[in-house]
Structure 1
Amino acid sequence: MDDPAQGKPPTFWQMLQSVLAAAFGVQSNKNRARDFTHGKPSHFIVLGTLFTLLFILVLLGLVKLALHLTAA
Structure 2
Amino acid sequence: MSPLLVSQSSILQTLLSVIAAFFGVQTDKNRQRDFNKKSPIPFIVVGIILAAVMVVVIMLIVKWVLATHA
State the TM-score bracket (shorter-chain normalisation).
0.7 to 0.9
**What TM-score do you get using the length of structure 1 for normalisation?**
0.82
Listed as ranges, the gaps of 5+ residues in structure 2 are 1-5
Which structure has more RCO (C-alpha within 8 Å, separation ≥ 6)? 1
Stretches (4+) displaced over 3 A:
none
Letter paired with 1:45? I
Mapping for residues 18-37 of structure 1, pairs under 5 Å: 18-37=17-36
Listed as ranges, the gaps of 5+ residues in structure 1 are 1-7
RMSD (CA atoms): 1.8
Q: Per the alignment, in what secondary structure is the counterpart of residue 25 of structure 2?
A: coil
- Number of residue-to-residue matches in the alignment: 64
Percent identity between the two aligned chains:
41
